[in-house]
Amino acid sequence: MFVEQQTLKGTVVAVDSLEIYKAACAGIWTVKEYELGKHISTWRLELSADGSGTYSKPGTASQLDIRWYISESHDGYRCVENVVYGGPWSYLEKSSVIYKEPLTFPVTSFSRHYIGTTVTYIKD
Residue 90, judged by CB atoms within 10 A of its CB (0-12, 13-18, 19+), counts as: middle
- pLDDT tens figures, 15-71: 778 999 999 999 999 999 998 999 998 999 999 999 999 989 888 888 888 889 999
* pTM of full prediction above 0.85: no
Identify whether 106 is preceded by a cis peptide bond (ω within 30 of 0): yes
Q: Are 16 and 4 in contact (CB under 8 A)?
A: no
Domain range summary for the chain, segments of one domain joined by +? 17-123
CATH class of residue range 17-123: mainly beta
Contacts of 73 (CB under 8 A, 6+ apart): 102
- Is the Cα torsion angle 32, 34, 37, 38 positive or negative in sign? negative
Q: Are 31 and 113 in contact (CB under 8 A)?
A: no
Q: Are 76 and 63 in contact (CB under 8 A)?
A: no
Q: What per-residue confidence (pLDDT) applies to 91?
A: 47
Residue 123: CA count within 13 A, CB half-sphere: 15
